[in-house]
Structures are given as structure tokens and as C-alpha cells.
A = this chain, B = another copy of it.
């Protein structure tokens, strides 16, 4: 999934379909590259469950999948929280170290 997000064209596509769902060919028109290239990008995003497709006549409408985005954001949040926890522990140790007389925050 992070791999799918790693390409700027794909992130741009996500942004577009989040603002307004569009068919694959509508999307393709926005970029310099060929239709096939865009179609591939959409396929990658679809495999990563970042977007879904829905047939409408001969068109394939692309729209975003919020759940997956939320999942990604949560994971990064967890990383960040982990870091904050760690940073707290460090500063606890430091203050304990420099001011021996102070009370420990303990656990």
C-alpha cells in the first residue's frame, strides 16, 4: 500500500478521484502519459484497495476508498506515538540522571 502511494502520479490520481470520481479515460486525459499507463496506475491503486472501480455503461468509474487511507494514517500515527513515548522516556531518564534528588515519574 505504501508502494502504491510512493508514486506521485498515483497520489495525484487519488487526490482527483477523492474530489470527484471520474472514469479512467477522463483521468487519462489529464496526464501527458498514454491511456495504458494511467490504466496501469489505476490498477495498482485498485490492488492496494486505495480506490475502487464501478462499471457504468462502457465506462469504468474510479472512486476512492477511505478505509484504506484511514488505515495508513493510523499506522503512521502509531509510529509517531511510539516515538513520543520513547522521547518521553528519554527525557525522564535525563532528568532523573541530572537531578538525582528528584522523584522518579516511575511507571
Shortest Cβ distance from residue A94 to the other chain B in the assembled complex, whole angstroms: 14
Assess the A76–B76 pair: CB atoms within 8 A: yes
Count this chain's copies in the assembly: 2
Assess the A76–B79 pair: CB atoms within 8 A: no
The reply to whether the CB of A66 lies closer than 8 angstroms to some CB of chain B is yes
Tally of chain A residues near chain B (CB < 8 A): 25
Chain B residues, Cβ within 8 Å of A64 = 79, 83, 86
Shortest Cβ distance from residue A65 to the other chain B in the assembled complex, whole angstroms: 8
Chain B residues, Cβ within 8 Å of A72 = 76
A-B contact pairs, 29 of them (CB 8 A): A2-B11, A3-B6, A5-B5, A5-B6, A6-B6, A15-B82, A18-B79, A18-B83, A18-B86, A19-B82, A20-B86, A64-B79, A64-B83, A64-B86, A66-B80, A66-B83, A66-B84, A69-B76, A69-B79, A69-B80, A69-B83, A70-B76, A70-B80, A72-B76, A73-B73, A73-B76, A73-B77, A73-B80, A76-B76
